[in-house]
């Protein structure tokens, strides 16, 4: 019996069905059951967009081992470089591809990319599929894809499919969407947004209690200067219509008294609770609240520290997942130790000009980079003598002897009797 792990089409001419929601009783609040409804929450939209954009803006390059120098170098003379760094397919750019992959992993739990090969076996494209149109049989490790928009129909063995997964609970076979666990928090946030919309829909509805102005008869005699319940309801409806129509001052006829209702402590607490939903969403997606446009208590240095923590705690695992999946499925087993895929992390090093200048000066002073390597990063032409590594203490060249001698060196040699 086939154990389907994804949604699949039942016929070749049908459109991919929407995600199947569990049968639940009628909700009393807004329920977030689909990715589309989750993205209506501003914090969730920003978290998914930010994570996908951060991965998408990094360049993924293939590398091969240079045995002569004992280091890995960017491998540009291969079709893989063109697919990963220039054009994965006729429809997608690298930025769109990896941003979409990360978004699908977060919202659906899985993202499937099918490598396309020519007759000679060379890679010709990377096709991103809709995870709702993919079925997976763990017993045979086979993927059944029926995605008409991507132009894919048929079965693929697991070794020919790139499968990126979120948190997995079945031994790493399939992933689980973040929405599965963040549904309650997102539902609270969506309910708060709906309540806020209702509160400001008409510019703030006027709320009051309509009562009798005075009670002359303890027995509550009706019809003698007092409103009975029916008349009070009718008058309340009339006053509500007048206030909602835009009138700011209305006359209360008869013996009615209109007592305004001020904002209660519950209302104030509701407005305050909307701030905590951002923190909860940020915690589920692993994004610093400052990156979700929540600048409460944020300062420049804390934001810079949050960026570093974001890379270590959240972004690095996503990048590792993509790099290892590509290496496992696109590199022959005999070349595992000599081929790899890596994201270029230089774009993550966002610094202010003064901090960047100090960092680059340290790189030069410690002999890590040459002048021409730094100039290349700024698209500047090389300079003569800029390919040599130097140390800041004596400015001595690492690949040659220092031709300059300190002042007074000759005099010392003569005094010691060593001069010729």
Give tens-digit pLDDT for 141-180.
Answer: 999 999 999 999 999 999 999 999 999 988 889 999 998 8
How buried is residue 314: exposed, middle or buried, by Cβ count under 10 Å (0-12/13-18/19+)? middle
- pLDDT tier for residue 419 given thresholds of 50, 70 and 90: very low
Average pLDDT of span 356-367: 81
> How many angstroms separate the CA atoms of 320 and 308, rounded?
16
- Retrieve residue 83's tokens: 């697919």
> How many angstroms separate the CA atoms of 109 and 104, rounded?
7
- Retrieve residue 149's tokens: 């928009």
Tell me the DSSP string of 339-375.
EEEEEEGGGG----HHHHHHHHHHHHHTTSS-HHHHH
Average pLDDT score, the chain: 76
Output the pLDDT for position 153.
93
pLDDT at 18 over 80: no
Does 398 or 216 have the greater pLDDT score? 398
Average pLDDT of span 40-56: 91
Torsion over CA: 211, 212, 218, 220 (sign)? negative
Q: Residue 117 is inside which H or E element, if any?
A: strand 110-117
Contacts of residue 35, defined as CB under 8 A and 6 or more positions apart, other chains included, come to 19, 107, 108, 177, 179
Give tens-digit pLDDT for 228-251.
Answer: 667 767 777 776 776 666 555 556
Average pLDDT of span 97-118: 94
- pLDDT tier for residue 390 given thresholds of 50, 70 and 90: confident
pLDDT at 75 over 60: yes
The H helix count followed by the E strand count for the chain is 12, 11
Q: Tell if the pTM clears 0.95, that is, is over it.
A: no
- Retrieve residue 207's tokens: 């709320």
CA 335 to chain CA centroid, nearest Å: 33
> How many angstroms separate the CA atoms of 103 and 110, rounded?
9
Sheet with 71-74, edge to edge strand ranges:
71-74, 59-66, 339-344
Give tens-digit pLDDT for 121-148.
Answer: 888 999 999 999 999 999 999 999 999 9
- Retrieve residue 251's tokens: 């006359």
Pick the closest to residue 148 from 164, 127, 162, 165 (CA basis): 127
Highest mean pLDDT (candidates 60-74, 209-223, 236-250) = 60-74
- pLDDT tier for residue 349 given thresholds of 50, 70 and 90: low
- Retrieve residue 186's tokens: 């997102």
Q: Which long-range contacts (CB under 8 A, 24 or more apart) does 293-302 make?
A: 293/46, 294/43
HEC-encoded secondary structure of 27-81: CCCCCCCCHHHHCCCHHHHHHHHHHHHHHHCCEEEEEEEECCCCEEEECCCCHHH
- Retrieve residue 153's tokens: 């129909």
> How many angstroms separate the CA atoms of 311 and 319, rounded?
10
Asked if 346 and 363 touch (Cβ cutoff 8 Å), the reply is no
Output the pLDDT for position 24.
37
Asked if 80 and 123 touch (Cβ cutoff 8 Å), the reply is yes
Residue 12's φ and ψ, nearest 5 degrees, are -70, -20
> How many angstroms separate the CA atoms of 7 and 132, rounded?
5
Contacts of residue 365, defined as CB under 8 A and 6 or more positions apart, other chains included, come to 391, 392
Strands 256-260 and 208-212: what pairing? antiparallel
């Amino acid at each position: 019996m086939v154990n389907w792990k994804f949604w699949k089409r039942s016929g070749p001419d049908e459109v991919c069905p929407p995600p199947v929601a569990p049968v639940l009783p009628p909700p009393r609040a807004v329920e977030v059951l689909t990715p589309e409804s989750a993205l209506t929450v501003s914090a969730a939209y920003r978290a998914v967009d930010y994570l996908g954009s951060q991965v998408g803006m990094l360049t993924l390059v293939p590398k091969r081992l240079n045995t002569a120098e004992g280091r890995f170098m960017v491998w540009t003379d291969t079709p893989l470089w063109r697919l990963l760094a220039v054009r994965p397919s006729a429809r997608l750019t690298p930025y769109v591809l990896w941003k979409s992959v990360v978004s699908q992993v977060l919202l659906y739990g899985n993202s499937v990319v099918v490598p396309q090969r020519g007759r000679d076996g060379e890679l010709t494209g990377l096709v991103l599929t809709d995870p709702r149109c993919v079925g997976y049989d763990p017993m045979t490790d086979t993927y059944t894809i029926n995605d008409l928009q991507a132009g894919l129909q048929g079965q693929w063995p697991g070794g020919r499919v790139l499968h990126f997964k979120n948190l997995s609970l079945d031994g790493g076979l399939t992933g689980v969407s973040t929405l599965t666990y963040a549904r309650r928090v997102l539902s609270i946030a969506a309910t708060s947004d709906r309540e806020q919309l209702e509160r400001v829909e008409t510019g703030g509805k006027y709320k009051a209690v309509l009562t009798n102005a005075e009670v002359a008869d303890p027995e509550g005699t009706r019809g003698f200067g007092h409103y009975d319940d029916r008349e009070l309801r009718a008058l309340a409806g009339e006053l509500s219509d007048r206030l909602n129509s835009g009138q700011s001052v209305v006359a209360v006829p008869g013996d009615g008294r209109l007592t305004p209702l001020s904002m209660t402590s519950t209302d104030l607490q509701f407005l305050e609770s909307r701030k905590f939903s951002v923190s909860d969403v940020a915690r589920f997606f692993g994004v610093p609240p400052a990156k979700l446009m929540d600048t409460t208590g944020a300062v420049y240095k804390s934001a810079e520290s949050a960026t570093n923590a974001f890379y270590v705690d959240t972004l690095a695992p996503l990048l590792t997942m993509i790099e290892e999946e590509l290496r496992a499925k696109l590199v022959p087993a005999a070349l595992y130790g000599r081929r790899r895929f890596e994201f270029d992390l230089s774009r993550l090093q966002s610094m202010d000009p003064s901090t960047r200048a100090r960092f680059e000066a340290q790189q030069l002073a410690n002999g890590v980079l040459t002048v021409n390597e730094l100039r290349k990063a700024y698209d500047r032409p090389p300079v003569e003598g800029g390919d040599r590594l130097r140390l800041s203490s004596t400015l001595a060249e690492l690949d040659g002897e220092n031709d300059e001698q300190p002042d007074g060196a000759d005099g010392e040699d003569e005094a010691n009797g060593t001069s010729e």
